[in-house]
């Protein structure tokens, strides 16, 4: 539906549900990467392990801030989804620019987490076919 076809009384509910679903999707995505990062922690050591920890921490921080910005950009907070309430909000560009940064960082970390198993697995004593199979399976997150 076009915005003009929606009953204006429903817009605050739609806005609130959009904020909730956006938050859940962002956290679900970052926690799935965190889960995979935890798996990588079990098979890495040294600098690689520190790098995985860095990825886990920074990714969770960046994406949590993204969720937080969605909720705290207006004062009072309900103004963020109910524009009929009096109050003030940040410039919409703040949320947009930070969202682009967070999405780009998340995408980059997807690629890093997909390529990292190759360097770890390639050093194992396994047949080449098995290495390729395991590395491909662990790299499916990039898709």
pTM: 0.80
* Nearest-angstrom CA–CA distance, 61 and 125: 36
What is the DSSP secondary-structure string of 47-63? HHHHHHHHHHHHHHHHH
Q: Where are the domains of the chain?
A: 3-142
Closest CA to 54 of 14, 134, 112: 112
Closest CA to 73 of 125, 123, 129, 19: 19
* pLDDT(64) > 80: yes
* Nearest-angstrom CA–CA distance, 14 and 86: 19
Q: Give the pLDDT band of residue 45 (cuts 50, 70, 90).
A: confident
CA 11 remoteness from chain centre? 26
* pLDDT(9) > 80: yes
Structure tokens at 100: 């682009």
Q: Give the pLDDT band of residue 8 (cuts 50, 70, 90).
A: confident
């Amino acid at each position: 539906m076009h915005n003009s076809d929606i009953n204006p009384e429903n817009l605050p509910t739609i806005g609130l549900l959009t904020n909730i679903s956006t938050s859940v999707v962002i956290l679900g995505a970052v926690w799935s990467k965190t889960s995979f990062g935890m798996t990588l922690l079990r098979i890495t050591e040294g600098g690689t392990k520190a790098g995985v920890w860095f990825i886990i921490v920074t990714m969770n921080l960046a994406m949590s801030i993204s969720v937080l910005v969605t909720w705290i950009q207006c004062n009072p907070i309900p103004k963020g989804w109910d524009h009929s309430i009096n109050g003030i909000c940040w410039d919409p560009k703040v949320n947009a620019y930070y969202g682009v940064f967070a999405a780009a960082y998340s995408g980059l970390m997807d690629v890093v987490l997909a390529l990292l198993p190759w360097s770890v697995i390639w050093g194992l004593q396994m047949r080449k076919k098995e290495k390729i199979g395991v590395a491909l399976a662990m790299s499916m997150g990039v898709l």
